[in-house]
Amino acid sequence: MSKNLIVGAGFSGAVLAFLIAEKLNEHVIVIDRRAHIAGNSFDYRDNNNIMIHKYGPHIFHTESEKVWNFLKPFCDFNQYMHKGYAIVDGIGISLPFNINTLYKIFPKTLALRLEEKLLDKFKYNTKVPISEFKNQDDKDLNFLANYIYEKIFLYYTIKQWGVTPEELDNSVTARVPVLIGRDDRYFQDKYQGIPLEGYTKLIENMLNHPNIEVILNTDFSQIKESFDKIFYTGSVDEYFNYEFGQLPYRSVYFKFEEKNCEYYQPNSIVNYPCNYDYTRINEYKHFLNDKSDKTVIAKEYSEFFEAGKNERFYPIPNTNNRNLYNKYLEKAQSINNVYFLGRLGDYVYQNMDKAILRAINLFEDIYHQ
């Protein structure tokens, strides 16, 4: 019997594999059904020497010293700080909506009045969900809340999730705040950047250990060997053969286009909340300042996940889906020495730093490190 099997070679699986191999000096087999490591963070350089994020843009950011220090031996990051950008009423604006945005989109007198009221009601440099404005007894703040809801949130949500905002958890609404300040960065975390050699190289460095064996193009159902411990980062409903039904996901389709120009758009990501069928256009060379006479963009379209057709991207957050997941969670907790984690194993959207921290904490909990 071998010691450890890890299903999935993304961040969650790679972090666990390294910790078990390095700290416990145990053999680890890592399998992945895809032909590559790094999961949805997989990237590669194309024939224009542009680093392409195959499954959509991945921007690393974290407040966690623990996560940052864990990653430092495996890669160097640049100082990329993402600035959100969207086209609203034909005007390019910052996301999250902030005080600078007020002056781009509204007449100066209205923008000034809104700024004064925001600063009077809320603490400077904080993020306030638009629902907070609707709770204020002020017609201007109510107007602002309704404007942001319709122009930035409502139609984008329908395109992104395939349902209206009312059919989703309030946690989704909370992710569309107004920043009471002039910081145009999308994230305010202490540590931000893109790995200089890419995410695939980062994961490759993590898995490059004499105690780790990586086997690609291999599904969990193909494994016949017994293991002391199994760490499963695939979809928890698939592990149990969909006993209680299939957990719904949104998937994403990317239409890649090569353009004969140095840059196609002013930002790495341009969101289109109200226009077109795609949610956003990604231009990857912005991330690492890649030099090329050409550029590559990807138009991003959301669609429902269908097994065998596309990949699982986003768990759909609502009460029914959470109740269904809890049935699988209860069954998962009844199995000895099989651990579920990651975006698919936990049925939760996770930023990269949260996935890394979850894997580290699970290792420490199991092995009392």
**CATH classification at residue 26:** 3.40.50.720
Residues 99 and 200 in one domain: no
Amino acid at 323: N
- Does the residue 122 lie in any domain? yes
Helix ranges, the chain (H): 11-23, 65-71, 99-105, 108-121, 130-134, 139-148, 155-161, 170-173, 199-207, 236-239, 285-288, 319-332, 342-345, 352-367
46: confidence class by pLDDT, cuts 50, 70, 90: very high
Residues 120 and 213 in one domain: no
Question: Which of 132, 147, 179 marks a domain boundary?
Answer: 179
Residues 101 and 137 in one domain: yes
Residues 21 and 169 in one domain: no
Please list, in sequence order, all residues whose beta carbon lies within 8 angstroms of the beta carbon of residue 261, skipping any fewer than 6 positions away.
294, 295
- pLDDT over threshold 90, residue 169: no
Quick one: pLDDT at residue 175?
63
Residue 223 and residue 121 in contact, taking contact as beta carbons nearer than 8 Å = no
Instruction: Name the token pair of 173.
Output: 């609404």
- Does the residue 202 lie in any domain? yes
How does DSSP classify residue 153?
I
Enclosing domain of residue 36: 2-79+196-244+315-367
Residues 211 and 125 in one domain: no
Distance in angstroms (rounded) separating the CA atoms of residues 96 and 366: 39
Distance in angstroms (rounded) separating the CA atoms of residues 20 and 17: 5
Residues 214 and 323 in one domain: yes
Strands 212-215, 28-31: pairing kind: parallel
Quick one: pLDDT at residue 174?
62
pLDDT in tens, 109-127: 999 999 999 999 999 999 9
- Does the residue 206 lie in any domain? yes
- Does the residue 142 lie in any domain? yes
Residues 152 and 224 in one domain: no
- Does the residue 25 lie in any domain? yes
129: confidence class by pLDDT, cuts 50, 70, 90: confident
- Does the residue 347 lie in any domain? yes
Distance in angstroms (rounded) separating the CA atoms of residues 338 and 232: 7
Amino acid at 292: S
Residues 240 and 347 in one domain: yes
Residues 163 and 235 in one domain: no
Q: Mean pLDDT across the chain, nearest whole number? A: 95
pLDDT in tens, 20-32: 999 999 999 999 9
Distance in angstroms (rounded) separating the CA atoms of residues 137 and 155: 26
Q: 217 to each of 44, 205, 223, 309, how far by Cα in Å?
A: 18, 20, 12, 17
Helices (H) and strands (E) in the chain, counts: 14, 19
Residue 281, number of CB atoms within 10 A of its CB = 21
Quick one: pLDDT at residue 346?
98
165: confidence class by pLDDT, cuts 50, 70, 90: confident
Residues 240 and 326 in one domain: yes
Question: Which of 123, 153, 179 marks a domain boundary?
Answer: 179
Residue 285 and residue 53 in contact, taking contact as beta carbons nearer than 8 Å = no
Residue 367: name the closest of 121, 3, 1 by CA: 3
- pLDDT over threshold 80, residue 215: yes
Structural domain count, the chain? 2
Phi then psi for 226, rounded to 5 degrees?
-95, 150
Residues 348 and 225 in one domain: yes
- Does the residue 289 lie in any domain? no
Residues 51 and 11 in one domain: yes
Kindly report whether the peptide bond that precedes residue 96 is cis, defined as omega within 30 degrees of 0: yes
pLDDT in tens, 283-312: 999 999 999 999 999 999 999 999 999 999
- Does the residue 268 lie in any domain? no
